[in-house]
Every structure is written in C-alpha cells, then in structure tokens.
Structure 1
Amino acid sequence: MVRGKTQMKRIENATSRQVTFSKRRNGLLKKAFELSVLCDAEVALIIFSPRGKLYEFASSSMQESIGRYQRHVRESQPDREKSMEEDLQNMKEEAAILAKKVETMEASKRKLLGENIGECSLEELQQLENQLEKSVNKIRSRKNQVYVEQIKKLTEKEKHLAAENHRLTEKYVVVPKESSSSAVHQVEEASPSEDINSQISDVETDLFIGLPESRSKRLSNA
C-alpha cells in the first residue's frame, strides 16, 4: 500500500516539540558520526536549539572544517563571476543578432512598400515583384472566400425571409370567399336604392332651379 506524502509542519505543543528535537538531534549526530567513519568523510555538524543552545560534531576539527569551507567558497567565487560574465556576453551577442534581424526585416518591409529601391539590382527587384504577386494572390483568394461566405449568408437569410413572408401571407392576407361575399352584400344593403336617389335629386331640383323671385312665388302658391 502506497502512503501519501504528509505535509511537514511545526509541532504546536512545546513539550512534544522539545522531545522530538532531542530524538532527532541525537539521531542526526549519530548519522554524521557513522558517515565520517564508514566513508572516511570530513563531516562538521552545527545545531542550535530553539533556546539557542549549541550542539556540534566534527570528525576532525570544527575550526579546520570551517576554514576549509571558507577557502572553498573564496576559490569558487571567481568561477561564479566568470560564469556570470560569460552568460552576460552570450546575452549581448544574442541581442546583437536579434537587432540585426530586426534591421533586415525593416529594410525588407520598406522595399516592399516601394521605398529605398533605387539601389536594388535587377535580381532583387525581381524577387520583390514575385513576393508582391504572391501576396496579391493570397489577398485575392481570401477576398473571394469572404465573398462566398457573405453570399451564402445572404442566401440563407433570403430563404428565411421568403418563408416568413409566405407564412404571414397565408395567415393575414388570404380571406375566405364566403366572408368576402357577405361583406359585399352588407355594403349593398347599407347603400341607398336608385329610387331614393332619384327622389332626392327631384327635391333638390325644385328647391334650387329658377331666379330668387320666381322661386318665392312658387313657394307662396304652394
């Protein structure tokens, strides 16, 4: 059964923490001693307790081991500085190469725009022409593709509108014949007859034909 890794954290209980420190400290000192004996290694171990008490182990001499460590650090320091200088130099060279590439690309861009081509040879001009033709062909191809996509969308939209128009026409415009006939019949019944129209015309004639004097005589005789 594989056990999962437990997260190590500080022991909160002071008593348990002190007991664990004593056990682990003794075990660590024992391991350092065994390592120096079994492997003939120079081992120096320094431990400070939480209260500041010092515990140490040295297979030969603690001072000699510390001095040896300091000498090693001083001797390795130039190598580190040299490595940093080499890394810095490499970065400068890479930056110079990138700057050169950017300059070349800018010059090529200006030539494609028709600038600074006075000193170009016939071969360079031919290359520029070929590049421009390739670019134009790609642009035209993309433009045609966009046209096709737009036409397809408009066609689909037209079909949708036609179907919607047909649906609305069937729903609101087409009127049944019976309803139309009854409406016409109602209109005929609501309109006045020819006889009534003629009577109205006669009355209007009697009232308005003639001069004002004769009209007043006719009214008195009546």
Structure 2
Amino acid sequence: MARGKIQIKRIENQTNRQVTYSKRRNGLFKKAQELTVLCDAKVSIIMISSTQKLHEYISPSFTTKQLFDQYQKAVGVDLWSSQYEKMQQQLNKLKDVNRNLKSEIRRRIGESVNDLGYDETVNLIEDIHNSLHVIRERKYKVIGNQIETGKKKLRNVEDIHRNLLLEFDARQDDPHYGLVENEGDYNSVLGFTNGGHQIVALRFPANQHPYIHSGGGGSGLTTFDLLD
C-alpha cells in the first residue's frame, strides 16, 4: 500500500509537534554522522526548538569555532569583528548608565550640585522629598511593629502577674498553706521582711539550736519575692 504524501505545514498540536521535531532531529543527526564517516566531511548542525532548547551536532575532532573560521574565509566576512563591535556598544551603554547613577548618588548627598540648572535643581528637590516620604513610611511601619510586639509582651507579663496574685491570694485562704510537715521533728517560723515584700520560712530540727548567718548563707533560710 502506497504511503500518502505528508503536507508540509506547521503542526498545530504542540505534543505532536515536539514528537516530530525529536524524531526528525535524530534522523538528521544520524545522516550527518553518516556523511562525516563516508565522505570525511566536516558537518555542523545547530538547531533551536520552539521551546528555545538548543541541539547541536558537530563532526568529531572539529569545533564550532573552527567551523566559523572556515566559514569566514570562504565567505570573506569577519563575524567576530561585528560581534565585538556590538559588545563594545553594549559596554559603552552600561558605562553611561553607571556614570549617570554615580552622578545621581553624589547629587542626592549634596555633592556636584553647582553645575545644576534651575529645573534640574527643582527636580532633584522633588525626588529627595519623595524618597524621604518613602523612608518615613518605612520607619513608621517598623516602629509600629515594634510597639505592637512590646504591647504583646506587656500583656503576657500582666497575665503572668495576675495569675501569680490569684495564686498567692488562694494560698493565703488555705489554712494549711505555710505549715511544715512532720511537726514533731521541726519547728517552723513564718514571717515577713523588708516591709512585707518577702516571706521568710525557717525550718530546723527541734534538737538543734537555730542559727541564721547575717550574710544570708544559712541553708535553713528560704526567701520568696512577692509582687507589689
């Protein structure tokens, strides 16, 4: 059965297009390899797909630079010079941009303003005002965040303080709170120091004479700080 002739036109389906590209690319590279072996030819193929992927075939022991050098000799053009000129033009543009940016920075810090005309000075003042507005907005936002963080920490401290006061009040209402267990073995004393801001609890064996070092080093002395 004879094979129908394929109409050469763009394949609309993207998947089919990629499959066809891959198959025909491999076939083309295979033919190039055969041509290199059979005819001792120098073959180079550069392909870019619709998805911007680069595929290249070049004969063994041959480089793309050598190919371009031979192409320049055969055609009589200098591809590298034109490319070098384009790169130089791009470099000069970047240098101009860099020079203008440096000059703008110097003017914004008050340098090199003597050569400015009236309109340029007015524009510079307006730009500085706009920049200051943006900086102030950022500063106020940072300060606001710090204030909110401080408020949250303060609320947490207040909650802890409130809970401690409630716990302390509850323990004061407990008649057994503050008593020492095993009363037969220990004598206990409960009192306040420093105007009522601290609780001192003393506990010592009944057969030992209590002794409290004036420097607070006695092991039988326990001090608890109270909240105002």
More strand by share: 2
How would you bin the TM-score normalised by the shorter chain?
0.3 to 0.5
